[in-house]
Amino acid sequence: MYVIVVYDVDVKRVGKVMKFLRTYLNWIQNSVFEGELTEGQFYKMKNGLSKIIKGKEDSVIIFRMPDDKFVEKTIMGIEKNPTDNLI
């Protein structure tokens, strides 16, 4: 599966969220990660995130697509983190 994670969390937790997500996905822009995950990795990532964020203050949105062939990605302007092009 292909996953995009966007987050808006308290500045106290941004570093921790970023460090955690880096172990699963690629950082592509401020507060945005993307990448391929297995079912197991997906649930472990979600579970780990739920332990870091504060549900009443922070916001995380996870978009999950069955496969990256369903996702066309267009970059306008600068590419903040040129990963080898997954798509």
Residues in touch with a second copy (CB under 8 A): 4, 6-9, 28-32, 46, 49-50, 53-66, 70-80
Report how far residue 64's alpha carbon sits from residue 76's, in angstroms, rounded to the nearest whole number: 23
Report in angstroms how near the CB of residue 38 gets to a second copy at its nearest: 15
Report in angstroms how near the CB of residue 42 gets to a second copy at its nearest: 10
Q: Is 8 annotated as a binding residue?
A: yes
Report the binding-site residues for Mg(2+): 8
